[in-house]
Amino acid sequence: MADKITVKDGKIEIPDNSIIPFIEGDGIGPDIMSASMHVWDSTVEKIYAGKRKIEWKEIYAGEKANEKVGSFLPEETPETIEEHVIAIKGPLTTPVGGGFRSLNVSLRQILDLYACVRPVSWVKGVPAPVRHPEKLDVVVFRENTEDVYAGIEWEQGSTEAKKIIDFIGTELGKKIRPDSGIGIKPISVTGTKRLVRKAIRYAIDNNRRTVTLVHKGNIMKFTEGAFKIWGYELAVDEFRDFVITEAELWDQVMADDGVTPTTKEGAFADLRGGKPAGDSGGRIVVKDRIADQTFQQVLLRPAEYDVLAMPNLNGDYLSDACAAQVGGLGLAPGANIGDFVALFEATHGTAPKYRGMDKVNPGSLLLSGVMMLEYMGWKEAADAIRAALEKTVLEKKVTYDLARQMEGVSPVKTSNFAKAIVANL
């Protein structure tokens, strides 16, 4: 008998036979969902020999929901996700004039899924634009609810924009050009700390070496700069036994008598590589970097980065940039996670021109399912899928998007790609 996943005493409880709701998705959604499910189910069956199973429960959002019940996002959809704690979805078309900014954004807001988590690592054999894609292995934690994405903005020329410009001018003495549009960038202690807490907790649970706070605090002191300050505060207040800040480690290195400044620099370089010569005592190093320099560092010194935590806009840009570095969004998984509720999803859109053609790459959704299995603690199944996927790519059995970047390779269909992965389990 299948059971619901529950949260008890602050912990997620996963039955061996778990019910997991899924949203098929629009456009290419049905193609990539059925291919991915074939791989997930076959893997769980093979690895746990019937001891564990996922019981899928279809729920509706997007075009399919609109056809069935006349609403793009029926009320019971987020309710069912919340009730079952873990769910997975394909991409959804944003209805034009449907009253939604985006169905994805609505789901995140309704369920307060405040962390967008995007692991980025290279799958062997995937064509990538850099010489050493294998050196990048990061997990981006992007704050999902605040920043300039909070949706608090007014059009140039509107009464509201004018009011705010006048208020800021007369009451606060700051001049804004009268023909400006206005957007508000709120970043709170609450929003920052719950995100950084999740990133550090992840680093501890997954034996990661460093957590980097990525911000633009040199320019935006009271929003991005505060993110950095509150991030360090949280790290030291709540995780003192598990973390050491980069500044503390540097002090240790500098205080170490008999070490010349040059070797101290060397030691610090090692530390940046995640192998601290100063004694981190096995603790996670918490450091911070300015956003623009992080973009060049992930390219030039990728091995020095690990878990990255940042406000919304930085995270939006950096997660796609990192994904591009290892070969693009086709194989980039993602999840939006709250305190416990987690919605795993393909990071690309509905690619409507390929709808029903059994053509596209299911890798992004497939690997989001791998993240989901890890979140459930079904690690053996997650590892098995990753290994089989890699083997399949190395055999050059790939969909059109990867095939067109490889010499002399003919593409396979979505469904055959999934079958090849299952054969390689």
Residues annotated as catalytic are 149, 216, 292, 316
CB of 90 closer than 8 Å to CB of 29 = yes
CB of 119 closer than 8 Å to CB of 139 = yes
Q: Does residue number 351 form part of the binding site for ligand NAP (CB under 6 A)?
A: yes
Those residues whose C-beta lies under 8 Å from the C-beta of residue 368, and which sit 6 or more positions away, are 88, 333, 334, 335, 344, 345, 346, 347
**Gyration radius of the chain over CA positions:** 23
| Interatomic CA distance for residues 212 and 196, integer angstroms | 10
Query: Strands 17-23, 11-13: parallel, antiparallel or unpaired by DSSP?
Result: unpaired
Among 125, 133, 217, 330, which residue interacts with ligand NAP (rule: CB under 6 A)? 330
CB of 165 closer than 8 Å to CB of 182 = yes
Q: Does residue number 348 form part of the binding site for ligand NAP (CB under 6 A)?
A: yes
In the complex with ligand NAP, the residue whose CB is nearer, 234 or 341, is 341
Q: Which stretch binds ligand NAP (CB under 6 A): 78-86, 155-163, 349-357, 389-397?
A: 349-357
CB of 47 closer than 8 Å to CB of 376 = no
Among 18, 43, 77, 104, which residue interacts with ligand NAP (rule: CB under 6 A)? 104
Number of Cβ within 10 Å of residue 58's Cβ equals: 11
Residue nearest to ligand NAP (CB): 349
Q: How far is CA 98 from the centre of its chain?
A: 27
Q: Which stretch binds ligand NAP (CB under 6 A): 108-116, 163-171, 235-243, 348-356?
A: 348-356
Please give the DSSP secondary-structure letter assigned to residue 127.
-
Among 319, 350, 368, 424, which residue interacts with ligand NAP (rule: CB under 6 A)? 350
| Interatomic CA distance for residues 301 and 304, integer angstroms | 6
Among 43, 93, 252, 325, which residue interacts with ligand NAP (rule: CB under 6 A)? 93
In the complex with ligand NAP, the residue whose CB is nearer, 15 or 349, is 349
Closest contact distance (angstroms) between CB of 220 and ligand NAP is 27
The answer on whether 108 is annotated among ligand-binding residues is: yes
The answer on whether 84 is annotated among ligand-binding residues is: no
Give the contact letters, 217-246, x = binds to ligand NAP (CB under 6 A), - = no: ------------------------------
Interhelix angle 379-394/363-375, nearest 10 degrees: 160
In the complex with ligand NAP, the residue whose CB is nearer, 203 or 366, is 366
- Binding residues (CB under 6 A) for ligand NAP: these are 28, 32, 91-94, 104, 330, 345, 348-351, 360-361, 364, 401
Residue list for the binding site for D-threo-isocitrate: 102, 104, 108, 118, 142
Annotated binding site: 93, 102, 104, 108, 118, 142, 316, 348-354, 361, 400, 404
